[in-house]
Structures are given as structure tokens and as C-alpha cells.
Amino acid sequence: AQKVTQAQTEISVVEKEDVTLDCVYETRDTTYYLFWYKQPPSGELVFLIRRNSFDEQNEISGRYSWNFQKSTSSFNFTITASQVVDSAVYFCALKEEYGNKLVFGAGTILRVKS
């Protein structure tokens, strides 16, 4: 069965620090899709990235970067030079090859202090 583990319940950093949010997944499928979502204090869920299992290239988008490693079943998310506006709950999620069920991890609360 598919599973997503975000072991870090809460992380606190000071503005401008780099921070990495961990995500470990479990699946028996060879084809699968990984996602990250951000949930700011206002409550909406904002899509950040979608990655399929055949694309192991790391991705960078501004201050955000993602490190996908199939060997360790991890899809970690790094924020460089964090800002107060990055404070939110971040969710990692997994979809297996068939169907459209997206299974979410428990989320990591990120607090960025000024």
C-alpha cells in the first residue's frame, strides 16, 4: 500500500536560513507521481511541484528546490534563504500508477521567524 512519511512535525528557522523538508514514500509501483503542496495560514492548498518516477533530475524554481532520489525513496524539498512568507504547512503526496488517489503525508509545519 502507498504511504508517505514526513517525519519532521515542525521546524523553526530564522529568516535567511536554508531549510530542508523531508519526504519518504513507499510504493510497489515502478510508475508513480510525487507532489508537494503548501498550506499557508489562510488555509488554501497551493500546488508547488509534480514529478513522475522516471524523472530523477533535481528541480529548482527560484528559492525552492527538490531532490528526488529513488534509491532512498525520498523527495526532499529545500527552501533557500527562507522568508517569513514561507511559514506554512508543507505536504508531500504520492499517486501510484493507476487511479487518481493522492495520498498525503501528515505535513511539516515550517515557522520562519524574522
Partner 1 sequence: DAGVIQSPRHEVTEMGQEVTLRCKPISGHDYLFWYRQTMMRGLELLIYFNNNVPIDDSGMPEDRFSAKMPNASFSTLKIQPSEPRDSAVYFCASSLRGLGNSPLHFGNGTRLTVT
> In angstroms, what is the minimal distance from the CB of 93 to partner 1?
8
Rounded CA separation 77/80 (Å) = 10
CB 74 within 8 A of CB 6: no
Residues 6+ apart with CB under 8 A from 71: none
Report the site for partner 1 in 70-109 (rule: CB under 8 A).
91, 95, 97, 99-107
> In angstroms, what is the minimal distance from the CB of 70 to partner 1?
18
Q: Among residues 7, 14, 45, 60, which is the contact residue for partner 1, using CB under 8 A?
A: 45
Stretch that binds partner 1, among 21-29, 35-43, 55-63, 64-72 (CB under 8 A): 35-43
Residues 6+ apart with CB under 8 A from 15: 82, 83, 84, 112, 113, 114
Interface ranges with partner 1 (CB under 8 A): 33, 35, 37, 43-47, 50, 52, 91, 95, 97, 99-107
